[in-house]
Amino acid sequence: MKYFTTLFWAFSFVFLSEYSLNGQFTIPSRSLDAPSGSQLYEQIRGLPLDVREEALLETFLSGNIPDWLRKEVRIDIEAKDKNGGLHQVTFWTLPDYLAFGSDNDFFRIPLSPLLAQQIADEYGASLPTPEIVDIIYQHSVCKLVPFNYKPRGHRNEDVDLWYDHSKVINAQQFASGTPLGTFTAGIKKDIVICDRLSDPSRRNRVTIYGWHTLDGKPIQPVYNGHINNYIDYSHGVRLVSQRVLVDGSVNRLEELLAHPILYTLMSRDPNPLTKPHYRDEQWHNKITAESNY
């Protein structure tokens, strides 16, 4: 009996340890009758921004994303705190940018930062910092060459062009020989969080960064010039888990980024991020109170 008890607790320890070492994204299951990417594209392509984003919020909160996008990627790094102390850091990210639809019929969709933040909150996730974007690119398995269109009026803000861009990326990935769900980067500019979000005069702006070329250099430096309802085909939403391990201890990413010493583990800003999110204080307090971290 003692042998079986010992065996049970040993198995339980291994199981619980393995279970605990993941990002714990909270993404609902996709319904079997959920519309495909092309079907939803036809439904939203002519909608005004506010109506379109309401429909997209419902889409993502219902879990209508491909199964291959749910494969968490674990990244282990060494990083220094503000005082130069070295730490072991583990965090998790989704393998690609947010897309809706089925495994074989999906649409990588650009979103406003406010909608991206709502989805991130519901999924137990965060938007990345520029430092995290660089780390993700460095660790990615499939690095694709950024594909851009020549600007013509407001064409870059057209949903039809966004859909076409998603198809181009699919063709690039197919040509690379890597399956969907492979840890992929280089295909979009990230909506990021940084210290500029703490500036009241910049809070109504979207900050973008990334779109790395194969030499690892970003085409887009950190830019905070567009109003937060500006969206174009090159924008993407990459989610990272709020769950971060620092020397084995569990932390919430937003709290880590606001820490006076540890924030440099995942940020290159000169100061801690006091507002590492695109949301108002009431919303922020609600999300923080509901957090399990």
Q: Could you state, in order of their start, the residue ranges of all structural domains in the chain? A: 35-288
Residue (of 18, 85, 99) closest to 259 by Cα position: 85
- CA–CA dist 244, 250 (Å, integer): 6
- Among the ranges given (39-53, 119-133, 188-202, 251-265), the one the predictor scored with the smallest mean pLDDT: 188-202
Instruction: Average the pLDDT over 190-216 and give the result.
Output: 93
pLDDT at 165 over 50: yes
Pick the more confident residue, 224 or 293.
224
The structure's pTM equals 0.89
- The overall average pLDDT reported for the chain is 90
Per-residue confidence (pLDDT) for residue 131, from 0 to 100: 98
pLDDT at 20 over 60: no
Q: What angle do CA 22, 214, 179 make, to 5 degrees?
A: 50
**38 phi and psi angles, rounded to 5 deg:** -70, -35
Per-residue confidence (pLDDT) for residue 154, from 0 to 100: 86
Confidence of residue 21 (pLDDT cuts 50, 70, 90): low
Per-residue pLDDT tens over the stretch 243-289: 999 999 999 999 999 999 999 999 999 999 999 999 865 444 444 45
Position 200, amino acid: P
Per-residue pLDDT tens over the stretch 99-158: 999 999 999 999 999 999 999 999 999 999 999 999 999 999 999 999 999 888 888 999
Per-residue confidence (pLDDT) for residue 283, from 0 to 100: 46
Per-residue pLDDT tens over the stretch 225-244: 999 999 999 999 999 999 99
